[in-house]
Amino acid sequence: MHVIGGPASTALAERISRELGNAPFAIPFSKRFPDGELYVRIGGRLGGEEVVLVQSSRTDQDFIELLLLEDAIREAGARKLIVVVPYFGYARQDRSFFPGEPVSARALSRHIEAVADAVVTVDMHSPLTMQSFTKPVFEASGIPAIARLLRERPVDLLVSPDKGGVDRVRRMAELLGRPWMSLEKKRIDSDRVELSLPTSTPVDLEGKQVVIVDDVISTGGTIVEAAKLLRRHRVRAVSAACTHGLFLRDAFERIKAVTDELFSTDTLLNPAEKASVAPDVAQILKREVPRLG
């Protein structure tokens, strides 16, 4: 099995290759033509080989690179192509909300699987996107990677910033053997939210070391408000953890100002990257690739 690391996921791809028993690893060459068009090239032939391409699709450029690399790998004669998309961009547009809108997640899924034999992703934003694939698709979780990191740190309580993350924080709590709770959230707009403690199950927070767990941190508004709320209830320390660290605009600095520690997995390059999903992705590849025929 060969592993090729796209420009958006080179470091993670190399880690996956190591988890696969030091599988051959390569970084493609890329450049821009004067007119702005992208050029990519992979080295050597891949006749009859199983190839894993790792490339997050955070931006339009990432997606174009992914498609070009898929085609290059097929042109090189790969027998089987498994595309790992650690962070699947456009997944939030998983349905048409107004007439004339595309279902963006479905559109990207169709293009990726047109050349791939299977797709692996990590903590997809919506189950609807998973359903849009017609070829085999597998979802790794960022929870075990974060749990491996948290085992090295004191944790008294795990917190979900909203009801939507209950399953995530509950699974984390099971892995760590720690209690958990979910905050109540009311969204004001895309950047502002109001948070409160649950009224049904009062929790004494004073002196506790708390970790807020989420799947994606983008603008950081929810995490900042959650940390402030917990501080008002005199927690000893508050940290924040996520699978996908987008940290748009000044989100990283704003969150760091109100937390004791901030960390994410390596699905995206970011300054909080401290845990790796490579073992979890590799486990899926080892288990599922032989079944693809």
Residues 6+ apart with CB under 8 A from 272: 245, 247, 252, 262, 263, 264
Domain count within the chain: 2
Q: What is the pLDDT of residue 40?
A: 95
- Asked if residue 166 and residue 62 are part of one domain, the reply reads no
How far is 107 from 112, CA to CA, in rounded Å?
9
pLDDT recorded at residue 185: 82
Rounded CA separation 223/200 (Å): 22
270 and 147 within one domain: yes
Same domain as 262, residue 209:
yes
Same domain? For 49 and 78 the reply is yes
Alpha-carbon distance of 151 to 146, in angstroms, equals: 9
Residues 71 and 200 in one domain: no
Which residue type, as a one-letter code, is found at position 75?
E
Tell me the two tokens of residue 42.
Answer: 């992979």
Does 127 lie in the same domain as 70?
yes
**Which CATH number do you get for residue 247?**
3.40.50.2020
Instruction: Give yes or no: residues 108 and 159 share one domain.
Output: no
pLDDT at 191: 65
Which one, of 212, 67, 198, 84, lies nearest residue 146 by Cα? 212
Say whether both 33 and 128 belong to one domain: yes
Pairing label, strands 209-217, 193-196: unpaired
Q: What pLDDT does 118 receive?
A: 97
- Based on the residue annotation, tell me whether 185 is a catalytic residue of this protein: yes
| pLDDT string in tens for the chain (293-residue length) | 999 999 999 999 999 999 999 999 999 999 999 999 999 999 888 988 999 999 999 999 999 999 999 999 999 999 999 999 999 998 887 788 888 999 999 999 999 999 999 999 999 877 788 888 999 999 999 999 999 999 999 999 999 999 889 999 999 999 999 999 999 888 777 667 788 898 776 788 999 999 999 999 999 999 999 999 999 999 999 999 999 999 999 999 999 999 999 999 999 999 999 999 999 999 999 999 888 87
Closest CA to 44 of 8, 75, 15: 75
Determine which one of 163, 185, 208, 256 is catalytic. 185
Question: Which 8-state DSSP code applies to residue 225?
Answer: H
Q: What are phi and psi of 260, to 5 degrees?
A: -90, -25
User: Quick one: 112 and 241 in the same domain?
Assistant: no
Query: Are 194 and 225 part of one and the same domain?
Result: yes
- 42 and 158 share one domain: no
User: Are 220 and 252 a contacting pair, CB within 8 Å?
Assistant: yes
Domain extent for 180 = 143-275
Residue 239 phi, psi (nearest 5):
-120, 165
pLDDT score recorded for residue 92: 81
Question: Do 106 and 185 reside in the same domain of the chain?
Answer: no
Q: Which residues contact 22 (CB under 8 A, 6 or more apart)?
A: none
